[in-house]
Amino acid sequence: MASIQITLPDELKEFVDSEAAACGYEGPGQYVQELLRAAWKQKSKSELEAKLVEATESGPTVEATPEFWTELRTRIRRRVENPQS
C-alpha cells in the first residue's frame, strides 16, 4: 500500500480528527480513505451513467422482450465459445 502526506490548515485538521472519531474510524487516515473511496465510486457511477445515456441516444431503441434476452444470451454464448469468429 502506498502512502501520501498532506498538509492541512489547523481548523481542517481538527475537523478531520473530530469526524473520524465521531464516525468510529480508527484515525483520520482511515476517514480520509473512505472519503476518497466514496468520491471514486461516485465518479465511476457518473461515468457509467454518461455512457448509458450516450448508448441510449446512439440509435434506434429495441424492446427488451423475453425473446430479445434469449437471443442476446445465445449470441454471447456463441462469442464465448468461438472468440475467433
Each residue of 7-24: pLDDT tens digit?
999 999 999 999 999 999
Q: Is 8 helix (H, G, I), strand (E, B) or coil?
A: coil
Each residue of 27-40: pLDDT tens digit?
999 999 999 999 99
Looking at residue 7, its pLDDT comes to 96
Three-state SS string over the chain comes to CCCCCCCCCHHHHHHHHHHHHHCCCCCHHHHHHHHHHHHHHHHHHHHHHHHHHHHHCCCCCCCCCHHHHHHHHHHHHHHHHCCCC
